Chain A
Amino acid sequence: MEPDDPTFRSGTEPVVHLRGAVALLGRFPALAGVDLDVDRRRIVLLRGANGAGKTTLLRALAGLVPITAGEAIVLGVDLRDDRRAVRHRVGLLAHGTGLYDELTVADNVRFWTQAARADVADADAAMAQLGLDGRLRDVAVGRLSTGQRRRTSLACLLARRPELWLLDEPHAGLDKEGRDIVDALIRDAAAAGATIILSSHELDRSIDLADEIVTLGGGVALDDSPEVGDDHVE
Chain B
Amino acid sequence: MAAAPTAERPAIARRGPAAPRPGPGGRHRQNLPGYLFLSPWLVGFLLITAVPMLLSLYLSFTDYDVLTPLREVHWVGWDNYRRMVTADPSYWHAVRVTLTFALVAVPLKLAVALGVAVLLNRTFRGVGVFRGLFYLPSLLGGSVALAIVWVSMFNRDGAFNSLLALFGIQGAPWVNDPRWALETLMLLAIWQFGAPMVIFLAGLKQVPTELYEASSVDGAGAVRRFWHVTLPMLSPVIFFNLVLETIHGFQGFTSAFVLSNGTGGPVDSTLMYTLNLYINGFVRLDMGYASAMAWVFLVAVGLITVVLFRTGRFWVHYSDAEEH
Bind each other: no
Interface residues of A (CB under 8 A from B): none
B: residues with CB less than 8 A from A are none
